[in-house]
Homo-oligomer: A and B are copies of this chain.
Amino acid sequence: MNKKKLVVIGGDAAGMSGASQVKRLKPEWEVVVLEKTDFISYAACGMPYYLEGLVPEKEQLIELTPEDAVSKRKIDLRLRHEVTKIFPEDNKVAIKTEQGEYEESFDFLLIATGSLPLIPRAGYQQSEQVFVLKNLSDMEKIDTFIKENSPGKCAVIGGGYIGLEMAEAFRGRGLETHLIHRRTDLSKTFEVEISNLIKEEMANNGVVLNLETTIEAITDEGEGVTVITDKGKLNYDFVFLGLGTVPASKLAGECGIELGIKGSIKVNEYLQTNYPNIYAAGDCAETMHLLSKEPVYTPLALKANKEGLLAGMNMAGLQKPFRGVLGTAITKCFSLGVARTGLTYGEAVKHNFNPVKIPLNSQSRAKYYPDSAKLFSLIIADKGTGLILGAQLAGPLDAVKRIDVYVTAIQHKMTLDDIFDLDLAYAPPFSPVYDPVLLAARVGRKFI
C-alpha cells in the first residue's frame, strides 16, 4: 500500500505550499494541516500596505480560504489546532484544541511554524499601545486602534524593512511618525550610501528620525506610551516594534529536532531535519547563502513558498534541492525603490574576497524621456577576478527590479566583463542606451 499520511504544522506560505504540492502529486495521500490560528495563507508582506490604506479590503490579502483548501485542494485542514509536542521516534504529534487534546500519527511531518516578532527580553512592557505585526490579527489591532483612538503621534522602533514600511504606512494615515533606531545607519543589509538615501527619503516625507538612540524601557503610564532612551524620555500615542523576527522553533527544539543558526531548524538541501521523514520549511528553517556557503536565517516570503513546494515534491519522492538564498530583498520607501542582493562589502571581506565598491549615478530612462530619474547603483565586485559579489540599487520604483539581473549574474558566477557583454534591452522609455547595469560594468572595470 503506497498511501502515506503527511501532517503539516502551520498553515501559512510554507505549510500550505507543501500540503498542496503533495496533494497534487499524490492525491491519494492523507494530508492534515494543523493551524493554531483562524488564518491560513495570508499575504503577510501586504499588511503594511493595507494599513497604509492602499489595499481596500483585508480579504484581498487572503491567498487561499480555508474553504478552498478543503474543497478544492482536498486538504484536511484543522484550524485552532495547536501542536504541543512532536514525537519524532514514534512518528506522532500531540495536539491541543478547545475541545481537548489528542494525538495524530504521520509518515511525513512538515514543520512550517514560521517566525515570531523579536521582542527584547527586558523593559518592554506589554501594553495595549505597543504593537507588532506578524499576522492578520495584529494588523486588525493596529487598524482598529488608529480608527478608534485617532492617535496623533507614533513611534516605529527599528530601521529594517518592516520599520521602513510601517513608518510609510503611518505617514499615509496622517500620523506624526518617529523612527527610532539604535545606530546611525539603517539595517546592516544596506551599504551606508543606500542607507543615507533612504534616510533622506524618509525625512523628505516627514518621518522624524531618532537615530543613535538606544531604548532602555517602554512603559505605559495611562496616557500613551513612554519610550525611555539613552537620550531621554519620548512620549507617543502608540509604538510599533519592528525589530525583526525569530524562528518559531521552540517546539521543534524541545522535541529533539536539531536547531541551527539563530535557533532556526537545521535542514539539508532537501529540507529534511535530522529525522529524514521530518521536514521543515519557511521562516522556521535555516538555509544556505549561495555565495558565502554558510547557513543563514532568512525569513522571507519567496524562500518560504519555494521551500514548502520543494519539501512537498521531496516527500512525494522527487529529488528537488533548495539551493539557498542570495539575500535578495526589495522595498518601497515612499517614492524611492531600494533593492539589494548578494554580499555587502563587509561580508565580502569577512568571506575572504578582496572586494571593491563601484558606485554609479545613472538615469533610469533616456535622459530626455519624461520622468527619467536618478538611479544609484553600488556594485560589490572582487578585485582581480571581477566577480560580482553583491549589488544594491536605490532609485525610482520602476527602476530597481533590475536587481534581478544581478541576482542572475551572481548566482551564475558572472564577472563585470560578462555583464558588459549582455545584450540588455534598450528603448528610451525603459533605460538609457547603456542600461545602468551595463554602465556599472563598464565603469567598474576601472576598479578591478
Q: Which residues of A contact B (CB under 8 A)?
A: 13, 43, 45-46, 49, 54-55, 60-61, 290, 300-303, 305-306, 309, 323-332, 337, 339, 341, 366-370, 397-398, 400-405, 407-409, 411-412, 414, 418, 420-431, 433-435, 437-438, 442
Residue ID in chain B nearest A371 by CB atoms: B54
B328–A425 CB distance below 8 A: yes
CA distance A405 to B412 in the complex (A): 12
Q: What residues on B are CB-neighbors of A430 within 8 Å?
A: 330, 332, 337, 397, 400-401
Given A330-B430, A369-B49, A411-B421 contact (CB < 8 Å): yes
Q: What residues on B are CB-neighbors of A422 within 8 Å?
A: 404, 407-408, 411
Q: What residues on B are CB-neighbors of A435 within 8 Å?
A: 404
A401–B431 CB distance below 8 A: yes
B302–A427 CB distance below 8 A: no
Q: Which of B60, B407, B426, B431 contacts A424 (CB 8 A)?
A: B407
Q: What residues on B are CB-neighbors of A327 within 8 Å?
A: 423
CA distance A142 to B412 in the complex (A): 48
Q: What residues on B are CB-neighbors of A403 within 8 Å?
A: 425
Residue ID in chain B nearest A45 by CB atoms: B428
Closest CB pairs A-B (n = 9): A60-B368, A330-B425, A398-B398, A326-B423, A408-B408, A332-B429, A328-B423, A330-B427, A404-B424
A65 CB, min distance to chain B CBs, angstroms: 14
A54 CB, min distance to chain B CBs, angstroms: 5
B369–A423 CB distance below 8 A: no
CA distance A326 to B13 in the complex (A): 37
Q: What residues on B are CB-neighbors of A43 within 8 Å?
A: 366, 368, 428, 433
CA distance A43 to B428 in the complex (A): 9
A404–B433 CB distance below 8 A: no
A54–B404 CB distance below 8 A: no
Given A404-B405, A409-B408, A426-B368 contact (CB < 8 Å): no
Q: What residues on B are CB-neighbors of A418 within 8 Å?
A: 412
CA distance A433 to B402 in the complex (A): 16
A404–B407 CB distance below 8 A: no
Residue ID in chain B nearest A303 by CB atoms: B423
A368–B55 CB distance below 8 A: yes
Q: What residues on B are CB-neighbors of A301 within 8 Å?
A: 426, 433
Q: What residues on B are CB-neighbors of A332 within 8 Å?
A: 427, 429-430
CA distance A427 to B43 in the complex (A): 11
CA distance A15 to B284 in the complex (A): 58
A404–B368 CB distance below 8 A: no
11 additional A-B pairs beyond A46-B428, A408-B412, beta carbons within 8 Å, are A43-B366, A300-B426, A327-B423, A330-B426, A337-B430, A398-B401, A401-B402, A403-B425, A404-B424, A408-B414, A408-B422
CA distance A400 to B404 in the complex (A): 13
CA distance A332 to B427 in the complex (A): 8
Residue ID in chain B nearest A370 by CB atoms: B54
CA distance A260 to B437 in the complex (A): 31
CA distance A420 to B397 in the complex (A): 24
Q: What residues on B are CB-neighbors of A366 within 8 Å?
A: 43, 45-46
Q: What residues on B are CB-neighbors of A323 within 8 Å?
A: 421
A147 CB, min distance to chain B CBs, angstroms: 20
Q: What residues on B are CB-neighbors of A49 within 8 Å?
A: 368-369, 428-429
B428–A401 CB distance below 8 A: no
CA distance A435 to B408 in the complex (A): 13
CA distance A103 to B367 in the complex (A): 39
CA distance A170 to B411 in the complex (A): 44
Q: What residues on B are CB-neighbors of A61 within 8 Å?
A: 368
